[in-house]
Amino acid sequence: MFRYVRRDLMRNPRRTIASLIGVILGVGLFSGVLFFIDGSGASMTKRSLAPLALDMQVVLNAPLGTGLTLSEHVVGPRALGMGRRGRVLLTVRNTGAAPANEVVIADVPPAGLAYVPSTTTLNGKPLRDVGGHSPLSQGLAGTGLNIGTVRGGATLRIAYEVRAGRPIANVGALHLRGQISTRENVVPTPANSRPDLAVSQLAVQMRRIPGVSAVDGLAFVDLPPRAVTVGGRTVDRTVRLFAFDASYARHYPSIHVVSGALSPTAAVISAEAARHLGAGRGGTLAVRLPGRASPLSLPVGGVADLSQAKPLFYSRKSTNLEEFNYVPDAVVVSPALFRSAVIPAFRLATAARGTQLKSLPFLEADVLVDRARLQADPAAALRQTKAIASAIHRVQPTQQYLLDNVSNTLQVARDDAAVGKRMFLFLGLPGGLLAAFLAAYTASVLAVSQRREHANLRIRGAHRGHLVRMLGYRTAALASVGSVAGAALGLVVVLAILGSSSLFEASAGSLVVSALAAVGLGTVITGLALYIPARRSLSREISQERMEMSLAPKPAWRRLRLDFALLAAAGIAEAVALGSGVFDAPPGSVYNGQAVSLPSYLLLAPAVAWFGGILLCARGVQAVCAHAPVPAPPRFGSLLRGTLTRSLRRRSWTLATGAVGVGLVLAFGTALAMFTATYDAAKAADARFTVGSDVRVTPSVLSTRPHPPGFAAQLRVPGVAATTPVVYKIGNAILTSKFNEDRKSLAAIDPAGFERVANLPDKFFVGGSAAAAMQALERDPSAILVEHHSAGDLHIRTGDTVRVLLARATKQQVIKEFRVAGQYSNFPGFPQGADIVVGLGAYTRATGLRESDFFLAQTTGRDPRSVARVAGALKAGPASRDRLGVETTGTALDKDQSSLTALNVHGLVDLDSVFTLLIAAASVGIFVFGLMLARRREYVVLRAQGLRSFELRSLVLSETALMTASGMAGGVLVGSGLAYLMIRVLRPLFVLDPHLALAPPRIAVLAALASAAALVSALAATAILRRLKPTEILRET
Amino acid sequence: MTGDPIILDRIGRRYAVPGADAVCALDDVSLDIAGGTSLAITGPSGCGKSTLLGLLAGLEPPSSGRIWIGGVDIATLSDAESARLRREQLGLVFQADNLLPFLTAVENVALQVALGGGDSQPPLELLSELHLADHAHKLPDQLSGGQRQRVSIAAALVKAPRLILADEPTGSLDARSSGGVVDLLLDAQRKSGATLIVVTHDADVAARMDRVIRLHDGRLAGEAGPIAPAETGDLRV
């Protein structure tokens, strides 16, 4: 029986190929997507880490250090019998020169030992118990004993007696629980800890950890206004004093030393500080430090542009680690100088009672992970970085805490990859469904042709069991061979699209798992799809079959109203999702380790709607066909039209079923085309939103030229339609309401110009429109727009009067009253966030400041080439005479640093498109092949009756064309709806809501190729017809 | 009108078989058939009867030899000319009814009218003559085997062809229906003066034709004039 099946498959190559083609293509698509996910997901490590400024930060708990140590041990016999007494001795030593203040010692006896009341002594003098408890563990909270200040070099001893509650074999093995804390280091340090290490010592130990590329010390402290002077000039705002060495600057290239060099004996100052102090190389800085009587005098060794130095200015506050808190006036000294002069000065300042310092030194060791050694797969890389972090944490765990940014980023990338996989899987899922559909369709087509063979076998004595077993063998052979071939095809196509280097970045294990999953699932799904229709066919008696064929029974899905059921299910899922707000999920945050929340389970709704929609279209096609007008008998009408319309009318389900296959493929292709176009448009819109317009021109801090608002006119190079100036700095204002006040980032814009160049969607303006908001700013100099969260925090409502400190921390700072003219949720051009927006004229008049921080330019053409051309013209023109940074939508980074938006969607769409076209061609081909199998006798009869070859060809072509056209029409219709649903699911990826973008050229190409496939198939079919032996076929009964 | 005379001159037909020797279905068959007569072609299965009928219908070309129908060598006709011959001059009847399943009885007949163009007997009238008026609007699957074969004959005769070719027209019918079908064919042949060629295994059917020829292994094995049914097994060679 197995040999019979083998011969049947080998000797009927057309039938076998027809059965295999759907399985191969469907599984090819499915497996291709799995391989693609492996390949592109693996490269997400590199992409996700690219924008990361600092891998890991080891932050010292006590940057000022105290040199204070606490040792603890139990003195007396080595073993203690039950009820016997021992003595616990705690020794506090201040090995440093500076006193340690507010020293608190806490201790409870080790397990098994109990405190003997009234036995505590300090340097031999008894200490009273507190409330019946040890003075080292007072009250329920176990508060320790404050022994006040411990002078430098001093040693104190505290002792108390304990009684054993059980036999203690070795008191040396007991876990001792003493702790010490001070005003300088409020984090309790356990007794017997290793002595504190300097950052440089920590760095030496951490560099030995495998996977660590570099460890560099960084220290900084904010000095109050007027703390730095050169000659008679000073800086009237906060100056940040940094300490890092040349190796740090080498490892973090966003630090640009533009003149001079970092040196152990001199200071490098920021470009802004140099401008404000009128100093350059050769000058001498006087830095006034708290706790130091005389200013620190330092030669200026260079000037640096620190305006892009994220490692230096990213917030160290856990609540807003992603905030770039730039301090324009900065001084950089060597770590040794910071250690020898700055730390002792602050130590002295903090030691003085009643001293209130706004800023304390911050010491950290910044760890660079060896990214080249990280696995390409973010999940595997995360395991590596976690191991590194754990090893780092074990170095002096009591002295430091770790900010593990790289692991957070990889965690987001891993979760993004998982979301991406689910999203991509949806794009591959149709492959599986199409494979199943094509397999089932082919099986039903072949079942017709195999009835005669089965009848012959029955006549020769084969019983139903034999036929079922043969069907099982045939199905298993076709499904398994087709699935293996499909997986191989998928691998080849992905190799062609991604390239071997990208694909094989994925681990061999994941590729093997994908291959096995594709083959396994493909075999099962397509096996069932092949088996079920054929098995049903076998179960019928031949006479019944004939009757059912002749009456053209409705397909099972039509009888079960599956189309309505699927569409209803999709509608309910969407309604529930909409109601529960899943489409408004918050964006991701790398530093908070929060991935983009993509409700990928909702991707099932489009899949369900896809199938349901196409089935509904097929129902419509059938209804139209069934009502095709035919002349009243005995008139026949024209030969072709009369034959075709009657064939369609009385066999409407044949065409409708064929249209389902084409429709499914075309719908998928259309959805993909629209999805890609929308995805691209949304990314472009987001980039434009981030930049503010097509091009942003930012004067460098190194520029010595003024950039008043009028400078915008100088940026009108060819290709620029409009320009506008903007004033903006982080934390440059204080907003005061009746309720409270808060530091805010203010943007001052020219309303008319800004409206012209920037994309201002109405939906971002709460209870109003963009135009109304801009008009309000234009008309009323005291109008202000407030970001609605800020408004909420300060209990501000539209119409309220607020006070704003403008140009905060500058000589020109001034308080001005404004009237809140509107609120907004988002404002273009300010990726760091603009909390309040005022008119530029009002700002300039109030502060007298005329310097713009950046300029936005709108180009005449929006396409990337036009924008790039303008950027080139700006660089060659104004930027060649001045230090100007030119950023375009093409160079804008994603604000949320989500690696998901960096996914290679185009590659996946290319993959899908290849298979879409092949499946469309196969679908049409199978339809035509099915026609040939089912109707070859009809065609031969028509030929025998005198139908000419071209008439016969026209007949086949017309039916194929109608099937293809109706499938395409339904496909484009359903595909558009599908794209709409898919794009809604992607909403959390983008700042701006994506709007459905049509892709007529891609859809036209798809339709043209499907039409070409239909034409070729039909022509091939009629060519086959001519080769048939009519006399033999006409004799068949 | 008188049917066309038919001359078969050393006709041969071979089929290529992949990986094997060509199969010779007909070999050197020559035959003259007078116009307006009836001829039965008999012989065992696989002897080439249906192949010969297919060649006469122009459905496939002979591998060798010539076929003259009314002075036209149909082996030289193009596909379109061959189709035109069939639609205008030939009526074909087969053992299987060969009706198009999506057309009603009357539409099947009307299709032939549409194919042939020109004058013809109204299909409904013809069906009435064949006692099929009540079944004219039924699909083939709603008819009995005999009814389907009569519709098939109606379709073949509606254009009053000059040559009627019938391949086992009674092969799947009972004796009563079989007799009726042969009556129909002969009646039509006599009325129109057409030439009738019937391929049959049935001695009774063969006996009713003007001439009977016998094929064996693709060759003409013998010929008889009008003979009694009992004599068909003993043809003169």
State the Cα–Cα distance between residues B95 and A1034, nearest whole angstrom.
8
B216 touches chain A (CB under 8 A): no
Q: Which pLDDT does position A227 carry in this prediction?
A: 92
Higher pLDDT pick, A1029 / B215: B215
Distance from CA of B132 to the nearest CA of A (A): 14
* Token pair belonging to B138: 């039924």
Quote the tokens at residue A275: 């401008």
pLDDT in tens, A745-793: 999 999 999 999 998 888 889 888 999 999 999 999 999 999 999 999 9
Q: Whole-angstrom Cα distance, residue A478 to residue A483? A: 8
Check if B97 contacts A (Cβ < 8 Å): no
pLDDT of residue B72: 87
Over range A462-475, report the average pLDDT: 82
Is the pLDDT assigned to residue A603 strictly greater than 90? Answer: no
Tokens 């430090």 belong to residue: A289
- Record: contact A945-B172, CB cut-off 8 A: no
Question: For B94-118, what is the mean pLDDT?
Answer: 84
Report the percent of chain A where pLDDT is more than 70: 92
Judging contacts by C-beta atoms under 8 Å, the chain A residues touching residue B60 are 1029-1031
pLDDT(A852) > 90? yes
Strands (E), A95-249: 100-106, 113-115, 121-122, 125-126, 145-150, 155-164, 179-181, 189-190, 212-223, 228-230, 233-234, 239-243
Tell me what pLDDT residue B157 has.
Answer: 87
**Which residue type occupies A22?**
G
Closest partner CB to A945 (pick from B92, B122, B171): B92
Is the CA virtual torsion A673, A678, A681, A686 positive or negative? Answer: negative
Q: What is the mean pLDDT of residues B121-142?
A: 87
Residue A337 has pLDDT above 90, yes or no: yes
pTM of the complete model beyond 0.80: no
Is A854 a residue whose pLDDT tops 50?
A: yes
Q: What is the mean pLDDT of residues B139-144?
A: 88
Size of interface A-B (CB pairs under 8 A): 118
Q: Which of A97, A183, A90 is nearest to A137 (CA)?
A: A90
CA gap A328, A313 in Å, rounded: 10
Give the closest of A547, A947, A1037 to B115, CB-based.
A947
Both tokens of residue B216?
């064996």
For chain A, the average pLDDT equals: 84
Question: Is the model's pLDDT at A586 over the cut of 60?
Answer: no
| The pLDDT value given to residue A531 | 84
- Closest by Cβ to A945, choosing from B96, B115, B122: B115
What is the pLDDT at residue A1037?
58
**Residue B212 near chain A (CB below 8 Å):** no
**Per-residue pLDDT tens over the stretch A444-457:** 777 766 776 777 77
What's the confidence (pLDDT) of residue A220? 94
A110 to A170, A639, B211: CA distances (angstroms): 12, 106, 127
Distance from the Cα of A6 to chain B's closest Cα (Å) equals 20
Burial letters A594-625, b for 16+ CB under 10 A, else e: bbbbbbbebbebbbbbbbbbbbbbbbbbbebb
Query: What pLDDT is recorded for position B227?
Result: 47
Residue A902: pLDDT band (50, 70, 90) is low
Q: Note whether B90 contacts A: Cβ–Cβ < 8 A.
A: yes
Contact A945 B109 (CB under 8 A): no
Average pLDDT for A348-366: 80
CA distance B220 to chain A (A): 19
Q: What is the mean pLDDT of residues A985-1005?
A: 80
Please list, in sequence order, all residues whose beta carbon lies within 8 angstroms of the beta carbon of residue B223, skipping any fewer than 6 positions away. B211, B212, B213, B214, B235, B236
Q: Among B59, B138, B148, B149, which would you mutate to test the A interface (most chain A Cβ atoms within 10 Å of its Cβ)?
A: B59
ipTM over 0.85: yes
Q: Say how far apart CA B105 and CA B124 lie, in whole Å.
A: 9
pLDDT tens-digit readout, A173-187: 889 999 998 877 777
CB A435, CB A526: distance < 8 Å: yes
Beta strand A239-243 with A212-223 is antiparallel
Q: Nearest by CB to B111, from A550, A643, A1035: name it.
A: A643
Is B98 in contact with A639 (Cβ distance < 8 A)?
no
Q: Supply the pLDDT for residue A320.
A: 66
Q: What is the pLDDT of residue A355?
A: 64
pLDDT of A1031 > 90? The answer is: no
- What is the distance in angstroms between the Cα of A659 and the nearest Cα belonging to chain B? 20
What number is the average pLDDT over the span A363-374? Answer: 91
Q: Structure tokens of A156? A: 């104190």
Strands B38-42 vs B211-216: parallel, antiparallel or unpaired: parallel
Q: How many CB atoms neighbour CB A1020 within 10 A? A: 15
* A365 phi/psi in degrees, rounded to 5: -110, 120
Q: In this predicted structure, what is the pLDDT of residue A541?
A: 47
Its sign, for the CA torsion A8, A12, A15, A18, is positive
Mean pLDDT, range A582-586, rounded to an integer: 58
Bigger pLDDT: A321 vs A608: A608
Mean pLDDT of A813-841: 91
Residue A443 has pLDDT above 80, yes or no: no
Between CA B139 and CA B141 the distance in angstroms is 5
Mean of pLDDT values over A379-407: 89
Q: Which chain B residues are Cβ-neighbours of A1037 within 8 angstroms? A: 95-96, 171-172
Mean pLDDT across chain B: 84
Strand partners, A818: A802
How confident is the model over A485-497, as a mean pLDDT? 90
Rg (CA), chain A: 39
pLDDT grade for A835, boundaries at 50, 70 and 90 = very high
| Interatomic CA distance for residues A908 and A931, integer angstroms | 34
Sign of the torsion formed by the C-alpha atoms of A329, A335, A336 and A340: positive
Q: Is the model's pLDDT at A897 over the cut of 50?
A: no
Q: pLDDT digits over A863-894, tens only?
A: 888 998 999 999 999 988 888 889 888 776 44
At A915-965, the pLDDT tens digits run 888 888 888 888 887 777 778 888 888 888 888 888 888 888 898 899 889
pLDDT of amino acid A399: 80
DSSP string, A211-256: TEEEEEEEEEEEEPTT-EEETTEE-SS-EEEEE--HHHHHH-TT-E
pLDDT at B235 (0 to 100) = 38
Lowest-confidence pick of A463-467, B43-47, B149-153, B213-217 = A463-467
pLDDT of A543 strictly over 60:
no
Mean pLDDT of A816-831: 92
Q: How confident is the model at residue A514, as a pLDDT?
A: 86
